[in-house]
Structures are given as structure tokens and as C-alpha cells.
């Protein structure tokens, strides 16, 4: 590295500019813990965030700058009890995060020293957002490190690191003591391997003795409950041994990593016991119909599942902060009323459209809150009621063409979280019907950090909005449709105007593909990104259009000449090869994806947290691009300035 490339920062600079939210460390630790527990391994997890002092020292000792970045701002250490779990843990981490590289301690055949496996992984995007943006200007990479080692060597590692790695001068000219230390390390390595050999030999002995439950516990060495083996399964294993079918031998010969893979594939965490272990291996490997019948009768994966009891917690009362999970301001055009298609809404009066929307909104309120408020009118009307944390307020003015409503209730899953939905329906002077919707929740913030979790986890629109879109019909630059729409040459001029429309609140996704030999769109380049599925997923808050390459070139040629899509740096559109996927955001920004983006895309899915399911997963290729684009569309929706809602300050206030 050239000396001019090297950078050094002071402890004070790191302290001021590098700020890592506690949620980064805690979430990484929890994700790893959840996945390891799902597989039943014996382990311990420790974590740390580098201090400003530690970063400053490391920048002094090593050369950072140019293409070399600090990669272990956050570090996680996984300590394992069995030596052969190191590779299994590596496999689990590769299925959990996006891995950049692995490294291991090197040693010669006649040398002993602690063996550890280090992996560098990309931070999940939602956790990267919890780190100050200045961090990435300090030669720090958006990665974290996982160290994997066994408990025997972990017990020695800290001493070895401080007294040998950092204290080489202690051993200089004293080779006898160094050899003595190596003999201790050799003993530790022997202990690691001896523990595995011990349980393997014990498992074989138990197999020979026909003690099936004990054999499974010794051979697979995972944490499991004490559920007894089903008598029918025990009898089947006994009979097969006598008949020579050797089902028990198949079970004993199955490697531990095969069981781990079966546990990893389950979206729901299953209770681990001798019965579920055999059931998992039978489903994935053996496919024995007799075992299948037995386990189906016992409902094996739910047998023994324990309900988790929520811990009692005390909260300091804080002001509630609103978090939007969906919003929209759009025209309701009535194109779907009375069996009409989306192209023949003409002739439907604004009164008909207004009344249809009123019916859908009020019907949703009655179905959701009617059991709580027994005196609620069944027909649309002005109404207001409160019961503790439940609130309904409707203000209906049919003559004035206006309806406002606000409802809220306490969320059943998270204490202190209040969900709300607000809608404003109106007819303007031109006779157009407009619908504004705000859906979200309010809860007390635990600290001064902004809330980032809403879009990715809780994004959802209320049922009445879905029904209005599907049965009444909306227009947002274009008519809303859940079907494939193909752009033709004659549509280009109109579409150009739609892309420029300042009132449009729907992003527009345009997918341009080659034509195959049968004259159809060749969308194989998208991999698992299924356009029809994608359209149905996002159709109520984004438009999805497709076209052939020839039409796509005509469209982009017009847009390149359009000042609305040309900045001081030039056009937003290059003469890139097709196929391409473009997102035209309201306001003029454009995103562009090609085949290379599909191939190289990876996406960490932050799933809704449940006690028996994964909270984080990673996908690649077309499936990853699918999730990334959907997430981008949802993030834009919740962050845009469409309609702020009523911002009620008085609990019993009726929106006017």
C-alpha cells in the first residue's frame, strides 16, 4: 500500500463519528442464537462493538486505506462444545448471512495453537441503517465478523492472545517454555477430538445393544427434551433389526450434518426429541411409509411444543410516536363498479363512487369493532365511541360529499403498541372522488433514535382500501390493475405524460425483455422473479408494466430527450443492453437493474419475529431482487409525503 493511501483517525474522531446503536449487536447475537438453538447445538455466543480506543490502536498497527477497510466493527464469537460442530456452525452461518470470506489459523504439522475459524459477513441492511452514516467515511466496511472455536481452546485463547500473540518478547530465547506451552495446547486439541470419539464409540455400543433412544442422544449430540420414543417406533426398529431391514442402522449411519440440514429447512422451530429427529430424517432421507403413518397419527412436530410465557415487564411512560405502515392519496374512478372493467368507468357518477366507498369503509369498521361497540349503527352514519384503548370516530356528510374516520385499538402482540387507521373521502369541485388513507401504529420510543422497523416488518394496508381498489377501482396516473399490462408503441406518448405526472403516488415498474422464438417475452433473465406474482403483490401501491425490447428502446429514446428525466450530469438512461428493469419513482428518480444485478443480488429478509420461526433469512438471485424491489417500493410508500392523517391530539376527538 502506498503511504499516501493510508489513513489514521484519532480516538476522538472515532468516538464522535462512529455511533452504533445497541440493536445492531443485540440483533446479530439474537439471530445467531435463534438459528443455533433451532439446530439444537451446544454453544455459547458472545459479542462486542469495537470501542473508539480499540479502533484507533488498530489503525495505528495496521495499514487501512485505499481498498483495505476495518471489517470487524461488530464481532460475534461462537463457542462450541464439540470439535466437529465447527464446520456445522460454518454451514449454518453461510445459510444465515451473506458471507464475504473465511479464514482460519495456520499451523504446521508439528505446531499446536488454538484453532479458530473467522468469517466476514455483510451486515443486514436494516442493521446497517442503525449505524451513523459517517462511519462509512472512516475506512470501515459494512461488515461484521464471526469467530468460531471450541470451548477447550476458548478457555485458553485469551491468555494465549495476550501472553503469546501480543507478548512475543516473553518467549524470545526461551524455546523450552514455548515447547511446554505447545504440549498443553496439544492436550487441549486431544481433549476436543477425544470428546467426539467418546460419544461416537458410546453411540455405537448403544446401537449394538438396541437402546435406540440413548443411541440417538449419543450419536447426534444435540439438545433435546426427554420425550420417550413412541412405542410403535421402538417396535418397528426392533422388528427391522430382526428381519434384516436395518432401519436402525440407517439411523445410526446418518451424519449429524444431515439432521442439522433438516432442522434448518423448517420454517417453524420444532421441538427436538428422539421422535422428531427420526421424523425429520424420515421426511428428508428415509421416506419409510410405516414411520410416516406413525408420526402423522401422533402429529409429531406439535407433540411436546411448549407455549412461551411472556415475561412481566415494567415500562416508563413516554409520549407515543406514530409510525406509518401504509399511506395513499388517490382518485377513486369507479372503473370496477357493477361488473365494469377498468377501461369503461365512464358514466358512473361521483355520488355512486362516493357511496360505494362509504359502504366499504363503514362495513370494515362494523366487522372489526362492532363486537366491542354494541350500539354501533349497522348503516353508515356519524358515530363516536370509546372503550378503554378502543376508539371509533366517524364523521359522515353525504350532502357535502365528505367522510372522515379514525379508529384505533391496542395491539395484541406487543404491549404498549396502538394500531390506528384513518381515512378521508371527498368529492372535489370537478366531481372527482379522492381517498386518503393512513395506516400505522404508535408506541413509546425507547431512546432518541428514529424508528426504522415499520415498513419492512409491518407494512400493510387496511382491508377497506383493498376492497375499494378491487371492487370500486382507483386511478393513480394509470388505472390500478393486478394483471400483466404490455406497453405498445401507441401507448408511449401517454405513458410519458404519466411518468411526468406530479400528482402520481404510485411508483411505476417497467420490465423490458427480449422476444423469444415464439414471439413471447423471454423473462428467464429474472430467474425466480415472477412478474405475475410480483404484480399481484404490489398492484395496490405500484404499477407494473412490461414491454418488448423494440418498444422499450422507443420509450427510453423519448425519455432521454425529456428535460424531466435529464439532470446536469445528463440523461438518467444509458444505452445499456436489454433486458432491464426500471423503477420510475414519483418525483423523477429512476432505478435501473439488469441481468448482472439479478445474478449478483442478495437480500437479507428480516421476518416477523415469532417464538417458533426464523427472524432472519437470506436469498439470492431473482428471488433476492424480488424482495429488494418490493421492500424499496414499501419503504418509499411509508416515507413519502402523501397525507399526514388527522394528527389527533385529543383522544375523543372526531375528525372534521
Interacting residues of 143 by C-beta distance below 8 A, sequence separation 6+: 69, 71, 72, 73, 100, 120, 121, 122, 123
Q: Is 39 helix (H, G, I), strand (E, B) or coil?
A: helix
CA 491 → CA 495, 496, 498, distances in Å? Answer: 6, 9, 11
Q: Can you give the pLDDT at residue 266?
A: 85
H helices present in 18-137, as ranges: 22-39, 52-61, 85-94, 125-128
Rounded to two decimals, the pTM is 0.66
Interacting residues of 212 by C-beta distance below 8 A, sequence separation 6+: 229, 233, 234, 237, 248, 251, 274
Q: Can you give the pLDDT at residue 568?
A: 45
**Grid coordinates belonging to 184:** 498443553
What is the residue-wise DSSP string for 61-82? HS--BTTB-B--SEEEEEEESS
Q: Is 351 helix (H, G, I), strand (E, B) or coil?
A: helix
Q: Can you give the pLDDT at residue 6?
A: 87
Q: Can you give the pLDDT at residue 345?
A: 45
Q: Can you give the pLDDT at residue 150?
A: 86
Cα 592 from Cα 582, distance rounded (Å): 5
- Chunked into runs of 10 residues, the chain (656 residues) has average pLDDT values of 76 94 93 93 95 94 91 95 92 93 70 72 92 94 94 66 59 70 74 86 92 94 93 91 78 94 86 94 93 93 62 56 91 83 64 96 95 92 91 94 94 80 95 95 66 61 96 95 94 93 94 91 94 95 96 90 64 69 92 94 72 71 94 93 73 59
**Grid coordinates belonging to 567:** 439532470
Cα 165 from Cα 152, distance rounded (Å): 18
CA 534 → CA 509, 510, 538, distances in Å? Answer: 10, 12, 6
Q: Can you give the pLDDT at residue 27?
A: 93
Cα 226 from Cα 624, distance rounded (Å): 40
pLDDT tens string 569-599: 545 565 567 899 999 999 889 999 999 999 9
Q: Can you give the pLDDT at residue 303?
A: 82
Q: Are 319 and 327 in contact (CB under 8 A)?
A: no
Amino acid at each position: 500500500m502506498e503511504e499516501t493511501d493510508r489513513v489514521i483517525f484519532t480516538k476522538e474522531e472515532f468516538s464522535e463519528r462512529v455511533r452504533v446503536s445497541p440493536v445492531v449487536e443485540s440483533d446479530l447475537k439474537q439471530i445467531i442464537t435463534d438459528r443455533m438453538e433451532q439446530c439444537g447445538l451446544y454453544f455459547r455466543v458472545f459479542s462486542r462493538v469495537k470501542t473508539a480506543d480499540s479502533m484507533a490502536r488498530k489503525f495505528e498497527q495496521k495499514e487501512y486505506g485505499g481498498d483495505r477497510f476495518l471489517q470487524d466493527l461488530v464481532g460475534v464469537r461462537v463457542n462450541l462444545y464439540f470439535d466437529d460442530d465447527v464446520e456445522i456452525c460454518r454451514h449454518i452461518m453461510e445459510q444465515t448471512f451473506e458471507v464475504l470470506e473465511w479464514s482460519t489459523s495456520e499451523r504446521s504439522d508439528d505446531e499446536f495453537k488454538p484453532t479458530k475459524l473467522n468469517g466476514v459477513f455483510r451486515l443486514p441492511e436494516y442493521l446497517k441503517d442503525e449505524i451513523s452514516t459517517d462511519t462509512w467515511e472512516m475506512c470501515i466496511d459494512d461488515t461484521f465478523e464471526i469467530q468460531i472455536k471450541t470451548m477447550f481452546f476458548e478457555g485458553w485463547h485469551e491468555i494465549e492472545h495476550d501472553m503469546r500473540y501480543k507478548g512475543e518478547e516473553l518467549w524470545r530465547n526461551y524455546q523450552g517454555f514455548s515447547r511446554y506451552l505447545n504440549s498443553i495446547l496439544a492436550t487441549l486439541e486431544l481433549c476436543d477430538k477425544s470428546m467426539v470419539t467418546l460419544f461416537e464409540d458410546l453411540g455405537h455400543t448403544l446401537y449394538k445393544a438396541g437402546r435406540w433412544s440413548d443411541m440417538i442422544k449419543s450419536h447426534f449430540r444435540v439438545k433435546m427434551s426427554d420425550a420417550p420414543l413412541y412405542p410403535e417406533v421402538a417396535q418397528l426398529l426392533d422388528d427391522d433389526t430382526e428381519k434384516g431391514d436395518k432401519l436402525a442402522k440407517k439411523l445410526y449411519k446418518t451424519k449429524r450434518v444431515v439432521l442439522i440440514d433438516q432442522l434448518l429447512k423448517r420454517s417453524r422451530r420444532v421441538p427436538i426429541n428422539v421422535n422428531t429427529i427420526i421424523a425429520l430424517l424420515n421426511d428428508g432421507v428415509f421416506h419409510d411409509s410405516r414411520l410416516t403413518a406413525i408420526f402423522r397419527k401422533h402429529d409429531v412436530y406439535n407433540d411436546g411444543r411448549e407455549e412461551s410465557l411472556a415475561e412481566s415487564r415494567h415500562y416508563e411512560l413516554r409520549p407515543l410516536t406514530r409510525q406509518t405502515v401504509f399511506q395513499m392519496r388517490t382518485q377513486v374512478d369507479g372503473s370496477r363498479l357493477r361488473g365494469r372493467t377498468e377501461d369503461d368507468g365512464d358514466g358512473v357518477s361521483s355520488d355512486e363512487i362516493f357511496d360505494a366507498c362509504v359502504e366499504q369503509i363503514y362495513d370494515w369498521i362494523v366487522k372489526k369493532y362492532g363486537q366491542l361497540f354494541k350500539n354501533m349503527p349497522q348503516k353508515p352514519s356519524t358515530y363516536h365511541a370509546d372503550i378503554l384503548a378502543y376508539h371509533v370516530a366517524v364523521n359522515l356528510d353525504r350532502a357535502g360529499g365528505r367522510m372522515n374516520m379514525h379508529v384505533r385499538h391496542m395491539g395484541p402482540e406487543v404491549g404498549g403498541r396502538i394500531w390506528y387507521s384513518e381515512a378521508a373521502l371527498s368529492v372535489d369541485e370537478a366531481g372527482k372522488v379522492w381517498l386518503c388513507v393512513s395506516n400505522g401504529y404508535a408506541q413509546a420510543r425507547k431512546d432518541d433514535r428514529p424508528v426504522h422497523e415499520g415498513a419492512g416488518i409491518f407494512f400493510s394496508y387496511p382491508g377497506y382500501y383493498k376492497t375499494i381498489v378491487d371492487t370500486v377501482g382507483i386511478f393513480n396516473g394509470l388505472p390500478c390493475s393486478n394483471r400483466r399490462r404490455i406497453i405498445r408503441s401507441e401507448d408511449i406518448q401517454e405513458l410519458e405524460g404519466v411518468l411526468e405526472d406530479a400528482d402520481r403516488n404510485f411508483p411505476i415498474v417497467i420490465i423490458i425483455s427480449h422476444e423469444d422464438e415464439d414471439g413471447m417475452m423471454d423473462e428467464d433473465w429474472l430467474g425466480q422473479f415472477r412478474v405475475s406474482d410480483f404484480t399481484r403483490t404490489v398492484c395496490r401501491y405500484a404499477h407494473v408494466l412490461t414491454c418488448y425490447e423494440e418498444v422499450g428502446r422507443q420509450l427510453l429514446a423519448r425519455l432521454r430527450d425529456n428535460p424531466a428525466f435529464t439532470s446536469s450530469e445528463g440523461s438518467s438512461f444509458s444505452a445499456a443492453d436489454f433486458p432491464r428493469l426500471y423503477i420510475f419513482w414519483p418525483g423523477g428518480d429512476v432505478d435501473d437493474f439488469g441481468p448482472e444485478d439479478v445474478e449478483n443480488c442478495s437480500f437479507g429478509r428480516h421476518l416477523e419475529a415469532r417464538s417458533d420461526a426464523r427472524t432472519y433469512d437470506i436469498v439470492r438471485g431473482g428471488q433476492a431482487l424480488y424482495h429488494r424491489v418490493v421492500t424499496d417500493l414499501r419503504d418509499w410508500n411509508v416515507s413519502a409525503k402523501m397525507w399526514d392523517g388527522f394528527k389527533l391530539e385529543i383522544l375523543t376527538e372526531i375528525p372534521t
